[in-house]
Structure 1
Amino acid sequence: MTSVQKFQVTFDCADPERVARFWCEVLGYVIPPLEGFATWDDFDRSQLPEDQGSWCACIDPTGVGPRLYFQRVPEGKVVKNRVHLDVRAGAGLVGEERLATLQAECDRLLALGATHVLTQVADDENESCITMQDIEGNEFCLD
C-alpha cells in the first residue's frame, strides 16, 4: 500500500510575511503560533538581524490543506510561474453564476492588492476562469 505524503508549497519572495498574510486572506489560512513566542513579531525580533523577515508560513486551520511556506530570496520574479495555485472559488458552478462568483472573488482580491491578468469566459469546451497575480506578481487562477 502506498502512503500519501504530506507536502508544503513554497514561494520565493521579497517580503515573506507580507505575501503570507495576503495568502491567509485569500485562502482563510492563518499564520501559526510559534512555540515560545506570543506573536509572530516577537519571534522575528528574536532572530539575528540578517535572518529577520527571512521566512514566514501559513496553514489551513482545519488541517486539510497544505502548509504554505514563504522564503526571502534576493532576486525578483522575472518569468511566468511553472507551478501556480488554482483557487477554487467557482467549484461546482457553471455559466453566468460561475462567472459572477469568480468576478466577485476577483474584486475582493483586487482590494487586497492582487492584480487582474485575464478573464477567460466559458466557451463550448471550458468553463470561465480568471488569471491573477498576488502582491509580488506570482500567477494564480480563480476557477
Structure 2
Amino acid sequence: MNPLQPSAPDADASAPAVLDAAALQRLQALDPSGENRVVERVLRAFEGSLERMLGQASAAQASGDHATVRHVAHTLKSSSASVGALRLSQHCSEIEHRLRRDESAGVEASLHGLQSEGWRVLAAVRRMLAP
C-alpha cells in the first residue's frame, strides 16, 4: 500500500473521505514513478500553509477583519481543491462569495465550517505524511 493514500474514515465507514482519492491520483499521475515525491511535497507545502491560514482566519474573524478572511478563503479555495479537500474548498467558496457581495449573514457559520473542516483536513494530511 502506498503510504500517501488517503486513509479510511475512522469513525463511520459511510462517512465521505476527508480527501478525495481522485484528486490525489491526479497529483500522483504527475510523478508516476514517485521518484520526485510530488504528492508528498505538495502535501507538505499544503500542510504548512493550511495551518498558517487557519490561524489567520481565526484572528481575522475575532477582529472582524473581513478583508483578511476573504483573502484566506480565496487562497485556500484552489489549493484545498487541488489536494482533494473538496468540502474545505466549498466552505472557502461560500465565504468568498458572501463577502464579495457584502452579505454578512451566514459568514459566521461558514467560517465555523472552514475552521472545523480545515482542522479535519490538516489531521488527514498529517496522517498521510506520517512515517
TM-score, normalisation: structure 1? 0.30
Bigger share in strand? 1
**TM-score, normalised to structure 2's length?**
0.32
Query: Which of 1 and 2 has higher RCO (CA within 8 Å, sep 6+)?
Result: 2
- Higher gyration radius (CA): 1
More helix by share: 2
